Amino acid sequence: MAKNTASLIKNNLGKLNKSFTKLADLELLVGVPKEHDARKEEGMNNATLAYIHDNGSPANNIPARPFMKPGIQAVRSKLNARMKLAAQHALAGTEGSGERDLHIAGLLVQSSIRNTINEGIQPALEDGTIAARKRRGRSGTKPLVDTGQLRNSITYVVKRKT
């Protein structure tokens, strides 16, 4: 009768656990973080303006012009693939690759949201808004694109969960 034996060639469990724990402790946030909230002129900050324009403000006669969710939806399959890759890298114990994948995912979503704004969002600007822009020396007619400060404030961060 043959005797079955097994031997451990290499134990990567510690490395795998460290890599997966590190990735699980991180989160990806896309939007207008507090650090990038300031505007050149006085008034509302970018985060407040992003919320108002994305959701609308009937009391101030501002229609909703959603750009956050549509921007994310436009790259959802690529985002899912990148997040899957991050998990695979963590499971393989590849040090730092999962975090790198989160940064790539953040750039992907950030670019998509900015492109959504650049493409123009309905409804179109009212004639009075376009006239007010012209009085200020602006020629653009796309909603949410005047100085570019709001669009450029959309970014991402990868940070430790608190």
**Residue 76 predicted with pLDDT over 80:** yes
What is the rounded CA–CA span in Å between residue 67 and residue 53? Answer: 8
Q: In the numeric block, which tokens belong to residue 109?
A: 């979503």
In a domain, 56, yes or no: yes
In a domain, 87, yes or no: yes
Which residue range forms the structural domain that includes residue 107? Answer: 27-160
Query: Is the entire prediction scored with pTM above 0.85?
Result: no
State whether residue 104 is helix, strand or coil.
helix
Name the percent of the chain lying above pLDDT 90: 55
**70, 147 in Cβ contact below 8 A?**
no
In a domain, 74, yes or no: yes
pLDDT of residue 1: 60
pLDDT tens for each residue of 125-135: 999 999 999 99
In a domain, 13, yes or no: no
Q: Into how many domains does the chain fold? A: 1
In a domain, 141, yes or no: yes
pLDDT tens for each residue of 78-100: 999 999 998 888 887 777 788 89
pLDDT of residue 89: 84
In a domain, 18, yes or no: no
In a domain, 12, yes or no: no
Radius of gyration over every alpha carbon of the chain, rounded to an integer in angstroms? 23
pLDDT tens for each residue of 49-71: 999 999 999 999 999 999 999 99
